[in-house]
């Protein structure tokens, strides 16, 4: 413990001597992530492909619904947009109209990376609930904006679980 404290103190003093500010994840970052997801959700609902480009980054890692599926890296923006179109086509065939986020939990990984755990309700055109889903998104800050670089489906009962 004393060794860890000493190393931490040396790092702190070194940073202070150099005058460098260590980037930190703060409330402004959490707000920016939540705002980005609101815009992403709206673009998704409107099928606004050009707007989606502002919120997605490649390479993108996707882990599908099936428990037997492997993580799928999507290397190009064209392939990512096609995956989005395919997913929306499947939702539209089931009567999808819009989604609403219910819960959000942000786990900071670094000053420029986080996991965003969200639950959402998807609604049909008649206003009834189509389904409730949970996702974990990998987000990263690039050029002062946050983008989504991965999506992992989660079983809703496990949202926010820590063991």
Domain covering 23-155 in this structure, CATH number: 3.10.450.50
Question: Residue 117's CB: how many other CB atoms inside 10 A?
Answer: 20
Taking the C-alpha atoms of residue 147 and residue 136, their distance in angstroms, rounded to an integer, is: 14
pLDDT value, residue 34: 97
Report angle CA 85, 138, 80 to the nearest 5 degrees: 25
Query: 64: exposed, middle or buried (C-beta count within 10 Å: 0-12, 13-18, 19+)?
Result: middle
pLDDT in tens, the chain (163 residues): 445 444 444 444 444 445 566 779 999 999 999 999 999 999 999 999 889 999 999 999 988 755 556 788 999 999 999 999 999 999 999 999 999 999 999 999 999 999 999 999 999 999 999 999 999 999 999 887 999 999 998 888 888 777 7
pLDDT value, residue 121: 96
pLDDT value, residue 7: 42
Taking the C-alpha atoms of residue 11 and residue 18, their distance in angstroms, rounded to an integer, is: 11
Q: Which long-range contacts (CB under 8 A, 24 or more apart) does 102-111 make?
A: 102/132, 103/159, 103/160, 104/34, 104/37, 105/159, 105/160, 106/30, 106/33, 108/25, 110/25, 111/22, 111/23, 111/24, 111/25, 111/29, 111/141
pLDDT value, residue 71: 81
pLDDT value, residue 161: 79
Taking the C-alpha atoms of residue 106 and residue 44, their distance in angstroms, rounded to an integer, is: 21
């Amino acid at each position: 413990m004393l060794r860890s404290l000493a190393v931490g103190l040396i790092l702190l003093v070194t940073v202070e001597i150099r005058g460098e500010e260590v980037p930190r994840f703060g409330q402004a970052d959490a707000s920016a992530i939540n705002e980005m997801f609101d815009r992403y959700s709206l673009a998704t609902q409107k099928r606004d492909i050009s707007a989606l480009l502002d919120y997605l980054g490649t390479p993108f890692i996707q882990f599908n619904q099936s428990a037997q599926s492997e993580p799928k890296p999507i290397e190009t923006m064209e392939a990512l947009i096609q995956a989005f179109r395919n997913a929306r086509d499947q939702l539209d065939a089931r009567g999808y109209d819009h989604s609403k986020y219910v819960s959000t939990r942000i786990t900071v990984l670094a000053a420029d990376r986080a996991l965003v755990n969200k639950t959402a309700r998807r609604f049909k055109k008649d206003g009834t609930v189509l389904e409730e889903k949970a996702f974990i998104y990998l987000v990263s800050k690039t050029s002062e904006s946050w983008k989504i670089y991965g999506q992992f489906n989660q079983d809703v009962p496990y949202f926010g679980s820590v063991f």
